[in-house]
Copies of this chain bind each other. A is one copy, B any other.
């Protein structure tokens, strides 16, 4: 019978426990650390671990938390081995075969704060700091991440908490510094297919002389992000040094943001938000503003589209969201302007990277076929941003933007940016679209009274976008236009037969178009 020891129990335990050999398991568990133990592993049997419990893995002075999966196949992991998924292996950063010891994981430090949030309590700045630091350090399991996302969903967070969350997300990432007072950016909350205004706004405002180092994401759930579309024209994965050089020379760029460095917590949170398909105001504000602040922006123009199938359905909801963005931006010291725009239908004609790149280049070339809605929206956004220039009088921005576009200077600037990033061969007059295609026809005569953003995105995604650059949907009719029965509403392009079949099936479930009397076209009021 011993009396209670005062020596370090970790040492005792390590001595007593079998050491396991680390084995890298080539499974991508997507932002979750997973550890694999054989069911007959003596450590698993003796030490009361349970499937899905969190364990603490110690090796070479490093320590990670991982969720435990139990394995019955010794060819995957043997009885004397500890398997680590790609994420866990990379996090721990020791060699294959290195010995490791296991420990019952103490819960992450912020678990108490998480439980209070689940219980509906308000959290402090310190609480959010602890939660976000644990999330960024991959201490949360998918289950815990989901609990955080759901318990902070909708308007569960008050605006002060959203500020705390934003500040916490900025604190765990890197921050770019452009050594300039005026660093401008624009951002759309998303949900509108084809809405590639950034690729027009950046060359226009850069040509005017504003500093606009635009970093964009790839598509998360949509058929194309700005980075996917720009990638049709140029390299987008640029190192930080190359980026700096391009921005100094061109005043602008259109690069992929590489979210993991600038906003590591966001990168992890998205891994559960995407499969769940939820997008809450507080998380949206914190995610967008933290990334813009990390990217070094001083001024941000934010686009909130409204419409029946947009993310925001009513002016009242848009204004509520606007106020939340404004409150948090002000607390973070970011100059913010919000425009509430028409989100009743896709912008431009193409949906999918190559089709959207075609639309953008048509506008830049002042091509008569260029989609007018994309051009006009981009000009108005650029005009608002140009008015941040102290030399420009209120109301002059739009004219300046239009002159930059029609004179061809916007195209020149875009071509210079493309060349600086590394041009790719692309002829906007003959884009190499997926060669398998089909058309969808009007079932009756009338007027286009609805184009469902969600369904058109869904069809373009099934056709292969954004993975297949030349896949997507090419719209032939827009809202309010008259159609005769049998007219082509849109064409779907795919590269693979299976993708075409998926897309056709989606079209049969719903084409996404409604044809009816002219008075059924929904009206929206905008603040733009």
Residues on A facing B (Cβ under 8 Å)? 1-6, 9-10, 12-13, 16-17, 25-30, 36, 39, 43, 45-48, 50-54, 67, 69-73, 75-76, 86, 103-104, 115, 118-120, 141-144, 146-147, 149-151, 153-154, 271-272, 274-278, 437-441, 461-462, 464-465, 467-468, 491, 495-502, 504-505, 507-508
Contacts and interface: CB of A to CB of B under 8 A. Distances in A.
Contact of A69 (B27, B39, B104, B276): B27
Most buried by B among A17, A26, A29, A275: A275
A13 B118 contact: no
Contact of A154 (B2, B36, B39, B119): B119
Given A13-B505, A27-B76, 6 more contacts: A28-B71, A47-B499, A67-B275, A103-B502, A146-B146, A151-B153
Q: Which of A27, A30, A71, A119 has the most chain B CB atoms closer than 10 A to its own CB?
A: A27
A382 to B, nearest CB: 33
Identical subunits present: 2
A6 B441 CA distance: 13
B498 A46 contact: yes
Contacts of A272: 143
A54 to B, nearest CB: 7
Given A71-B27, A118-B153, A498-B47, A505 B9 contact: yes
Contact of A30 (B12, B45, B52, B496): B52
A53 B275 contact: yes
B1 A439 contact: yes
Contacts of A118: 150, 153-154, 278
A461 B48 contact: yes
A488 to B, nearest CB: 10
Contacts of A48: 461-462, 464-465, 467-468, 499
Contacts of A28: 39, 51, 69-72
- 5 interchain residue pairs of minimum CB distance: A26-B73, A16-B497, A9-B505, A13-B501, A26-B72
